[in-house]
Structure 1
Amino acid sequence: MGDGKELKILLPDPEKSGPGSWIADHQREAMGYDGGQGDRMIAENIRNNVDYVKNRISRLDRAELALYDLPVIGRLVITEKIAFITPYSNRRHGADSPCVMVVSGHPLYELADRLFVKFQQASRVP
């Protein structure tokens, strides 16, 4: 991952979605609370999101996308001043999950930032 980028986006790696994967685990959870979910839908949705993000940032020198193979258990949005942390439940959609906002210097901000850095280190550029 390059340095000096202003926008860093990490998404689950849809190519790591086979049996036993974190995405397959998340898919099983989703099928428990959403009867419309089908086999491999989450991986396909992630692929679509990856394509969309790649298209959106293709002309931005300051942006980068990377893919990780780690648990799909939440969403992090981090700026230099604020972190938004959305823990995903195994019983409802992420859109229905609470979002916590913490400011830089707060222990949860530091945790979110550290998690993002560790996920970034374990990711690959598509």
Structure 2
Amino acid sequence: MLQNGQEIAVKRLSQSSVRTEREFRNEVEILSKLRHKNLINLLGFCFKRDQYCLVYEFMPNLNLDRFIFDPHRASQLNWKMCRNIVEGIARGLRYLHEESGLCVVHRDIGPRNIFLD
């Protein structure tokens, strides 16, 4: 939690996912420019020695993985909700590919990285 009371999520990157400090800084620069309602905002970053961390806004709801692979939660998703999820994913991807003006390579889009609000 930040001093102003805002909850955050910290993603610690593995050493195998970051090759160099320069690569990390380039990724942070791109991520910091992305602004879309269907993307989680990057709030900051930290690197010290061999530890690289990204600081994101906290999303209190579960990720899609927790819904679709849990029979009880999956039964809570109706057609309208599923359609809204798919449309939100499509809007976010369209932004990354066509509207952001940045060269974005997303390597890890899947149910674990799609958060529901």
Q: TM-score, normalising length from structure 1?
A: 0.29
Q: Which has the higher strand share?
A: 1
